[in-house]
Structures are given as C-alpha cells and as structure tokens.
Amino acid sequence: MDGLSDDDKVSLILAAMILGISPFTLRSWIRERRIPFYRCGRRIIFSRRDLEAFLSRCRVTPRES
C-alpha cells in the first residue's frame, strides 16, 4: 500500500486525535475529500506523513506588528 510501514499507518480514531478534531469531523472531511486517505474495503487508513503535511498546509502565520 504505497510503501506504508506499520508505524506510518494511522486509524481514523488516532488520526482525529493527532489533528485535534472529533472522529465525526474527520469523517466529514473524508466525504468532502479535504484530507488524503486510503480505503481498504470499508476500512479507512491514514498516513502519518500525509497528516503532518495537511497540518503544515493549514498553518496560519502570525501578522507582523
């Protein structure tokens, strides 16, 4: 599966905890295709690297004073 090691695979519940959101919100983002994920049958798996990249893209920089 795209070279994912066991340490790189993350379940939906753990991914929600990493992102600091509820599993319900994460499922909504999956339906909206806002976040990358893998689907194995009915199971949804995330890459830890994809989650970190997603967080980096969502980063808001502070304003200059």
Under DSSP, is residue 53 helix (H, G, I), strand (E, B) or coil? helix
Q: What's the whole-number average pLDDT of the chain?
A: 91
Q: Is the pTM of this model over 0.85?
A: no
Under DSSP, is residue 28 helix (H, G, I), strand (E, B) or coil? helix
Q: pLDDT digits over 17-37, tens only?
A: 999 999 999 999 999 999 999
**pLDDT tier, 3 (very low <50, low <70, confident <90, very high otherwise):** low
Q: Percent of the chain beyond pLDDT 90?
A: 82
Residue type, 55: L
* Domain spans of the chain, in order of start: 9-57
Calculated CA dihedral for residues 35, 37, 41, 43, nearest 10 degrees:
-80
